[in-house]
Amino acid sequence: MRTRITALFLILLIAYNCRNDSTGPPSTSLTPVPYTFMTEDFFCLSLHRNTAIITSQGQYDSLISSRDSVCHPFIDFAQFTLLGQRVTAMGCDLPDYQVTVLRDDLSKRIIFNLLIVEHGNCQAGILGCVWILIPKLPESYTVDFEKDTIIVGNASSPSTQYLGRIQR
């Protein structure tokens, strides 16, 4: 009998705590991260992987295909991190890009979401990279790279590709 009372008490206690936890609005740990779109500045950077997290001058220099200062601007890696995603797109014109960068302090991660807007159903292939500069990536944070594609002028649904998480 004592076991049943103890079990009933625990069930009521858990139910009470769950009810109280759900009365407020859900909390979120996602906050927008300021970024600078750098793609036009880095046309000479070659990315041999789908994604890149550049945190040092040595990593940066290893991606340069030309020593021309026009496409090799100075970056203070003590204050900034350079993120890149490879882009493969189709369309009748160059694609547009929409970038969202979020910081999740609970999960210790940065989410870099890239929306590629393709124009029409032409089969012209477009290969390139999207580069953004964000404030210095905190130690032990990971970066989740996500990529979505939509076609303007077509009824096809968006495709989503999760490119993975990289630990700094």
Phi, psi of 3 (to 5 degrees): -65, -40
Tokens 């004592």 — which residue?
Answer: 2
- Neighbour order of strands in the sheet with 142-152: 30-32, 96-104, 109-119, 142-152, 159-167
pLDDT for the residue 93 = 84
Q: How far apart are CA 93 and CA 154, in angstroms?
A: 14
Phi, psi of 121 (to 5 degrees): -105, 20
pLDDT for the residue 65 = 63
Comparing 5 with 88, which gets the higher pLDDT? 88
pLDDT for the residue 144 = 97
Work out the number of other CB atoms within 10 angstroms of the CB of residue 92: 13
Residues 50-107 have pLDDT tens digits of 899 999 998 888 877 655 556 678 899 999 999 999 888 888 888 899 999 999 999 9
pLDDT for the residue 19 = 43
- The pTM score is 0.72
Q: How far apart are CA 145 and CA 139, in angstroms?
A: 18
DSSP string, 30-92: EEE---EE-GGGGTTB---SSEEEE-SHHHHHHTBS---GGGS----TTTEEEEEEEEEE-SS
Comparing 71 with 126, which gets the higher pLDDT? 126
Greatest CA separation found in the chain?
Answer: 83
Per-residue pLDDT at 44 exceeds 90: no
